[in-house]
Structure 1
């Protein structure tokens, strides 16, 4: 009986230890990414390169400025290729004014062009179940709709729901 209890106890402790080590590893990875990105921003500032706020960049490309949460860590934008990478401290989700929910990974990648963020990776939305967002588009400056394209489905949502960046809620997994 003692052997069985000892074995059961050691198995339980082992599982708990593995879970805690996994959490610590994730936290260290997130910290490392944050430090790396902050270092890049610092170096760019030393070089005299200043970066506009992400909402201003999105507005310039006719994308609603509140598409990404307020609490992003930083972002990179290569204007020559249109490559946009947005960094967040952890996976998170935002509930917008129209009750739509968008979930973000630690890093969201996409190609930014006038009125469209395409080839996205790291973004999901809830349509009965969580589905990957492949692009976000606004047809024209006068349009009052934002089109979210998911795997095979195109869904319109009111543009004004994405006008202001909102705070995100941390989630355990993307």
Structure 2
């Protein structure tokens, strides 16, 4: 009996230790990514390359400037390939003026072109249940709608003015 309890206790402690190590590893990875991105920004500033703020970049590509939360840590944009990567310190969600909710991972990737952010990874929206957003589009410069397309094949229009200002995000435990 003592032997069985010892094995059970060891298994439980081992499981808890693995979970803690996993959390520590995730935290270190997130910190490492943030430090790396901040270092890139710092080096680019030293070289004289200043980067636009993300809302201005989105506005330039005819997307609402408040599509991402206010508390991004940094972003990368490869103009030639149109690759956009936005970094956040942790997963979070934002409730917009139209009561829509968007959830963001630590890192959101997508391809940015005029009026579209496609091949998105790291963004979800609530349509009865949480579904991944695959693209966000504005049909024309004068359009008052933003179209969210999800992996479930749902294409949902939302008022563009609900996304005009970056909003403060609420931290969530997981994406």
Provide Cα deviations, 1:107-129, integer angstroms capped at 9, x if missing partner.
Answer: 11111111111111111111112
* TM-score, L = length of structure 1: 0.94
Structure 1 residue 88 displacement after superposition: 1.1
Which structure 2 residue ranges, 5 or more long, are not aligned? none
Partners of 2:101 and 2:145 lie apart in 1 by 16
Q: Cα offset for 1:73?
A: 1.1
Gapped runs of 5+ residues in structure 1? none
* CA deviation after TM superposition for structure 1 residue 136, in Å: 0.4
Is 1:80 equivalent to 2:80 in the alignment? yes
Determine helix, strand or coil for the equivalent of 2:10. helix
1:29-40 → structure 2 map (5 Å cutoff): 29-40=29-40
Distance 1:73 1:25 in 2: 20
TM superposition shift of 1:172: 2.3
* Cα offset, 1:141, TM superposition: 2.2
| Most deviating of 136-145 and 30-39 | 136-145
User: 2:101 & 2:26 partners in 1: Cα distance?
Assistant: 24
The total of aligned residue pairs comes to: 174
1:100 paired to 2:126: no
With normalisation by structure 2, the TM-score equals 0.93
| 2:47 match | 47
Q: How many Å apart are 1:8 and its aligned residue?
A: 3.0
Q: How much has 1:171 moved relative to structure 2?
A: 2.0
Inter-partner Cα distance in structure 2 for 1:136 and 1:13: 45
Deviation for aligned residue 1:142: 1.9
